[in-house]
Structure 1
Amino acid sequence: MRYFAMVAAGATLWGCWALFLRPAGLTGPQNALLVLAAMSLPAPFLLRREALRDRRATAALAVIGVADAANVALFFAAMRNGPVSVAVLTHYLTPLLLAVTAPWVLGEQRSTRALVGVPVTLLGLAMLVLQPGSGFSGRTAALGAGSAIFCAATILGAKEAARAYSPLAVTSLHAPISVAMLLLYFGGEALPPALDGAALRVLAGGLVCGLIGNILFNAGLRRVPTAAVGALTYLEPLTASVVGWAVFAEALTPVGMAGGVLVLVAGAWVAAERRAPVLILPASEPQVAPAP
């Protein structure tokens, strides 16, 4: 359960982004660049020749860098183009994509509970974030779904990169690639106006929610089946809703509270499924789990 707790703790820290980003008042691309810059800080100390020899894991690390930048770019575009609730709901198609693709991409055991539980959890999230009269935008939904695809690719890539790289290395080494991709996509729009109090607040968020949150998440990811990881990521929007209610006086209706309970119950049900142990072994050794 320790590794499940690490994934849950990482997702919960991601849900605390509003504590740092909302008071800063910067744009989405500026926030993303500062966060990824903070996550990049340990990178110069993490390069190891032994890890680089594992070409498959190193290629996965490069994929994470590109996919994470595309995920951020599409999600921020979804947030700008339409209702935030639609952007959030379509972005959180990620766990369903993971449940479907993990057995094919990573050779993991298929999870029946995830295939049932993830749509139920998505329903709970809809109850939590949808507000009367919020409307619907097809363009926003398409952008959010696109971000979900790249978010799933990031998690699958992190699982593969863990063959040769530590959780800290997976977290930090991909970030400079993502920074470069964001600058190519957004250009000067991604640069903060000054290194002032607002920028420092976002950098602090990058260290707490980004660096520490991702280290915890990636450490647990090494030993937790991907389908269960996907279910646990719903703790992020749940935490964000609680933070919004407790700190920013946002409304939390009885229907929203019931949706939050549904998210927790369905996620716990998926995570509790009995599976063969997940082992991350060096690339030279066969990755075979012992028989249950």
Structure 2
Amino acid sequence: MPLGQAMKGYALVLAAATLWGSIGIFYREIIGYGLSTMSAVLARGIIACIILLVSLGIWRRDLLCIHIRDIPYFAVMGFITVTLVFSFYANAIMLVGVSVAAVLQYTAPAFVTLIAWQVYGEPLARPKIVALGLCMAGVVLIARLYDSSGVQLNLVGLLYGLASGITFGLYSILNKRAVKLYSAWTVTTYNLTFGTLFLVLIQAPSLANLLAAPSAVWPLVIAMAIGPTVLAHGLYVNGLTRVPASNASIVATWEPATATILAFAILGERLDGLQLLGAAAIITGVILLSRKGA
């Protein structure tokens, strides 16, 4: 693949990771209005699906067409990469705290690198291994896993977090296959739609809390559905058409760095020296990964 296309792919993934990094700010504000965590997750998925289906129905109806034989694949992909990822990650946050949950979520590149190596035959070259190590070390520093006073150890929560990392790792693998057959926006739409349908079925009691939400919260919900959901997923899946799945997953570890920066800028949370070092490690890993031959 031409170097220019690869660089564009990395830029798309970085943009997606930046948008994903804002999700914590949205959740914090939305839950502050009295919604439960799962109600906020449901709202995010439902509004995102409405936006995608209506937009494509008006402007690109052709992108809504898929072969009937691929419906089971999209259903499984949506269940794994939306229903399970959203649910596991939310439960991990509640049980072990944001820092540990974020670190466990971003064990995903390790799983993707190994799975892509086996499934797609993507080479496990030394630069990729070094980049993976730098990115994971950076995530640990940014999430402050070294600060044991902030870690709430809970076996069930740790298992939820690990499951979140595994399922999030499968996100790149499953989408990589789908974008070989369909547009990135087709994949994004059906992924979120099936995933949200399963969420509604599993989390039906949360609908009552969602329906009782004050009107003032909906602009935030819509913004969350557009930015870190529709656009982020679309950009990431587009990026997968240009770069290897394992590389994209490693580059996406920029998300926790973005989340930390936004928390500092918007919420006033301070960055210490080790967190800055972690951000630098992730950036270095991203640059190393984007070089030709990685």
1:12-50 per-residue CA deviation (whole Å, 9 max, x = no partner) reads 111112343222223321122111122212236267599
Q: Which residue of 2 aligns with 1:286?
A: none
Q: Which residue of 2 aligns with 1:287?
A: none
Say whether 1:43 aligns with 2:53: yes
* Counterpart-to-counterpart distance in 2, 1:226 and 1:128: 24
Say whether 1:110 aligns with 2:119: no
Q: CA deviation at 1:217?
A: 1.0
Count of aligned pairs: 274
* Counterpart-to-counterpart distance in 1, 2:280 and 2:110: 19
TM-score, normalisation: structure 2: 0.85
Q: CA deviation at 1:205?
A: 1.1
The equivalences for 1:253-272 within 5 A come to 253-272=272-291
2:149 equivalent among 118, 122, 133: 133
1:98 equivalent among 98, 112, 120: 112
2:159 equivalent among 139, 142, 145: 142
1:194 equivalent among 196, 207, 213: 213
Which runs of 5 or more structure 1 residues have no equivalent in the other structure?
A: 276-292
TM-score, normalisation: structure 1: 0.86
Q: Equivalent residue of 2:204, what SS?
A: helix
> Could you tell me which amino acid in structure 2 is paired with residue 274 of structure 1?
G
Question: Structure 1 residues 97-106 or 191-200, which shifts more?
Answer: 191-200
Which runs of 5 or more structure 2 residues have no equivalent in the other structure?
A: 1-6
Q: Which residue of 1 aligns with 2:91?
A: 77
1:37-92 per-residue CA deviation (whole Å, 9 max, x = no partner) reads 2221223626759953384x544422221012011111111111123211111111
**1:111 touches 1:227 (CA, 8 Å); kept in 2?**
no
* Counterpart-to-counterpart distance in 1, 2:116 and 2:95: 31
* Distance change in 2, residues 1:267/1:185 (3 Å): same
1:207-233 per-residue CA deviation (whole Å, 9 max, x = no partner) reads 122111111111111111112101111
> Could you tell me which amino acid in structure 1 is paired with residue 136 of structure 2?
L
Q: Which residue of 1 aligns with 2:4?
A: none
1:181 equivalent among 198, 208, 231: 198
* Counterpart-to-counterpart distance in 1, 2:63 and 2:134: 45
* Counterpart-to-counterpart distance in 1, 2:206 and 2:125: 42
Q: Which residue of 2 aligns with 1:8?
A: 14
Instruction: State the percentage of identical aligned residues.
Output: 21
**1:60 touches 1:158 (CA, 8 Å); kept in 2?**
no
Q: Equivalent residue of 1:176, what SS?
A: helix
Q: Which residue of 1 aligns with 2:245?
A: 226
Q: CA deviation at 1:257?
A: 0.8
1:173-197 per-residue CA deviation (whole Å, 9 max, x = no partner) reads 2222112211232221255123622
